[in-house]
């Protein structure tokens, strides 16, 4: 088969790595890809936000199957356009992608499905939102309604912080995304992510993970896209996973189907777990980044068969072949991230890193200049390893980190600390 993956980060490198190993894969193109992906697949320039351009590209290149990495092309209707052109695609329609694109939509679905989640109220009026915060007090959570690249959420510890967040959002800090605001009850507990493949009707769990969102060790400092992750997540026990399927995932799929917008693709179920009870924090309509890198290391080539089954409505016949293992990914970022950082610094030592089914350096933001790898983003490398225990995966991952010669980069040295 000829397969096209859309995206160009560490998530897509990991997806490409897993898909390449599947014997069904004859040819793999990744658009736009990055310098790491270019080592294993063809990279193509393509405006992945333009549904027509993607469909034309897929037809011209005789693509049989498309995997959409990030959420933005899904929200823009790329999967709809491909399906209309008769091309098989893994990823939800724009209508179903609203589970990530609109926080108030997700809340409405949870209400209709009876899925446990934080209490909330939805505002388009600044004054009414301020009054609500004053009435409820802190801690309280303020969210811009639309896609804000993970930056539209403020967990306010004081009323003043909450009011300030409202000023920013109604003041246009997030553009259109801030014209509507959801205010949520603060949920206590331990956070974990649950990844479920969905074919519109059936669902198949494919793994659990926890990530570290803060830039600093001990989970301190500003929020980032994620500085590391590990799988499985100990807090997501079999019993919690079953509860999540019964109380959250299946009722959501049923409600989406009832509305005529069935959900197909991977559902990233962000949970807050307390005393064995999961509550939904958020849905994402894509794999988490960097959680995907740890998941792919554990699942390997079979993930392509499962994605194909999801796209073709055959998940009820599928099961996952589990190894009883653990994986960890450590993000190396450019100094300054998540604030301002420089591009172009040279990364050495990559040739010395072992790459096999136990350890891989996935590239998140690299480019190739004059024969050398250079940093080309904030999060740059995702050092990923697996082992029989989390400790073994960790030791393997940090041994690779230590081989990398990149003075302008940094990483957290404590990924997985809660579980270890
Ligand atoms: P979201 O983009 O909705 O996932 O929010 C980003 C992060 O904010 C989550 O990963 C949580 O750590 C935190 N968060 C969001 N909503 C809540 C809530 N209702 N209670 C506690 N923490 C929350
Ligand atoms: N690592 C969090 C996310 O992908 O949203």
Q: pLDDT tens, 357-373?
A: 999 999 999 999 999 99
Q: Does residue 290 sit in the same domain as residue 353?
A: no
For 140, 174, 213, the CA distances from 153, given in Å and listed in that order, are 11, 11, 12
Residue 185 lies in a domain: no
Q: What is the pLDDT of residue 223?
A: 86
Number of independent structural domains in the chain: 4
Q: Does residue 6 sit in the same domain as residue 64?
A: yes
pLDDT in tens, 82-101: 999 999 999 999 999 999 98
Q: What is the pLDDT of residue 148?
A: 66
Best of 12, 266, 283, 288 for a ligand 2 pocket test (most atoms within 8 Å of beta carbon): 288
CATH code, 10: 3.40.50.20
Domain containing 339 equals 326-410
- What is the rounded distance in angstroms from the CA atom of residue 166 to the CA atom of residue 188? 22
Look at residues 317, 351, 368 and tell me which one is the last residue of a structural domain: 317
Q: What is the pLDDT of residue 150?
A: 57
pLDDT in tens, 369-389: 999 999 999 999 999 999 999
Q: Does residue 310 sit in the same domain as residue 206?
A: yes
Q: What is the pLDDT of residue 186?
A: 97
Between 323 and 118, name the one with better pLDDT: 118
Q: What is the mean pLDDT of the chain?
A: 95
- pTM for this prediction: 0.95
For 159, 204, 255, 269, 276, the CA distances from 99, given in Å and listed in that order, are 28, 18, 12, 10, 25
Q: What is the pLDDT of residue 300?
A: 97
**Atom 5 (ligand 2) nearest CA:** 288
State whether the beta carbon of 291 lies less than 6 angstroms from ligand 2.
yes
Q: How far is the CA of 215 from the centre of ligand 1 (A)?
A: 16
Q: Does residue 297 sit in the same domain as residue 378?
A: no
State whether the beta carbon of 100 lies less than 6 angstroms from ligand 2.
no
Percent of the chain with pLDDT over 90: 91
How far apart, in Å, do the first and last CA atoms of the chain sit? 41
For 1, 90, 176, the CA distances from 62, given in Å and listed in that order, are 9, 17, 37
Q: What is the pLDDT of residue 180?
A: 86
Q: What is the pLDDT of residue 149?
A: 59
For 29, 133, 192, 200, 347, the CA distances from 242, given in Å and listed in that order, are 36, 35, 14, 19, 44
Residue 406 lies in a domain: yes
Torsion angle of alpha carbons 347, 353, 358, 364, nearest 10°? 10
Q: What is the pLDDT of residue 153?
A: 87
Residue 96 lies in a domain: no
pLDDT in tens, 278-311: 999 999 999 999 999 999 999 999 999 999 999 9
Q: Which one, of 378, 367, 362, lies nearest residue 40 by Cα?
A: 362
Q: Does residue 195 sit in the same domain as residue 268?
A: yes
CATH code, 373: 3.90.600.10
Q: How far is the CA of 282 from the centre of ligand 1 (A)?
A: 7
205, pLDDT greater than 70: yes
CATH code, 169: 3.30.1490.20
286 CA closest ligand 2 atom index = 4
Q: Does residue 313 sit in the same domain as residue 195?
A: yes
For 58, 114, 229, the CA distances from 54, given in Å and listed in that order, are 6, 37, 31
Residue 97 lies in a domain: no
Q: Are 1 and 64 in contact (CB under 8 A)?
A: yes
pLDDT in tens, 132-190: 999 999 999 999 887 665 568 899 999 999 999 999 888 877 666 667 899 999 999 99
């Amino acid at each position: 088969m000829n397969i096209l993956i859309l995206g160009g980060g560490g998530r897509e490198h990991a997806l490409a790595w897993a898909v390449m190993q599947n014997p069904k894969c004859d040819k793999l193109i990744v658009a736009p890809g990055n310098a790491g992906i270019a080592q294993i697949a063809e990279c193509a320039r393509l405006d992945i936000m333009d549904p027509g351009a993607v469909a034309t590209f897929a037809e011209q290149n005789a693509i049989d199957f498309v995997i959409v990495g990030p959420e933005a092309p899904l929200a823009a209707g790329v999967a709809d356009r491909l399906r209309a052109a008769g091309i098989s695609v893994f990823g939800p329609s724009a209508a179903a992608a609203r589970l990530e694109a609109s926080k108030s939509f997700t809340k409405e679905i949870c209400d209709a499905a009876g899925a446990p989640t934080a209490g909330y109220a939805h505002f388009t009026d600044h004054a009414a939102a301020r009054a609500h915060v004053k009435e409820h007090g802190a801690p309280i959570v303020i969210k811009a309604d639309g896609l804000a690249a993970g930056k539209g959420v403020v967990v306010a510890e004081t009323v003043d912080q909450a009011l300030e967040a409202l000023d920013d959002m109604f003041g246009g800090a997030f553009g259109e995304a801030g014209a509507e605001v959801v205010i949520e009850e603060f949920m206590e507990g331990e956070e974990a992510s649950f990844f479920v493949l969905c074919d519109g009707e059936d669902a198949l769990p494919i793994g659990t993970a926890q990530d570290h969102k803060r830039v600093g060790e001990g989970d301190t400092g500003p929020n980032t896209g994620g500085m590391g992750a590990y799988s499985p997540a100990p807090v997501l026990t079999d019993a919690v996973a079953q509860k999540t399927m019964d109380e959250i995932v299946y009722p959501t799929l049923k409600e989406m189907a009832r509305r005529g917008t069935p959900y197909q693709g991977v559902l990233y179920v962000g949970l807050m777990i307390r005393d064995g009870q999961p509550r939904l924090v958020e849905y994402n309509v894509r794999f988490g980044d960097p959680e995907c890198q740890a998941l792919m290391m554990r699942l390997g080539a079979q993930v392509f068969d499962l994605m194909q089954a999801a796209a073709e409505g055959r998940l009820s016949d599928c099961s996952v072949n589990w190894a009883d293992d653990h994986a960890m990914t450590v993000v190396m970022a450019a100094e300054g991230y998540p604030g301002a950082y420089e591009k172009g610094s040279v990364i050495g030592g990559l040739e010395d890193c072992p790459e096999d089914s136990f350890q891989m350096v996935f590239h998140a933001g690299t480019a190739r200049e004059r024969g050398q790898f250079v940093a080309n983003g904030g999060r740059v490398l995702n050092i990923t390893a697996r082992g029989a225990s989390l400790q073994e995966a960790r030791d393997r991952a940090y041994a690779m980190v230590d081989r990398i010669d990149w003075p302008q980069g940094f990483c957290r040295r404590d990924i997985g600390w809660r579980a270890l």
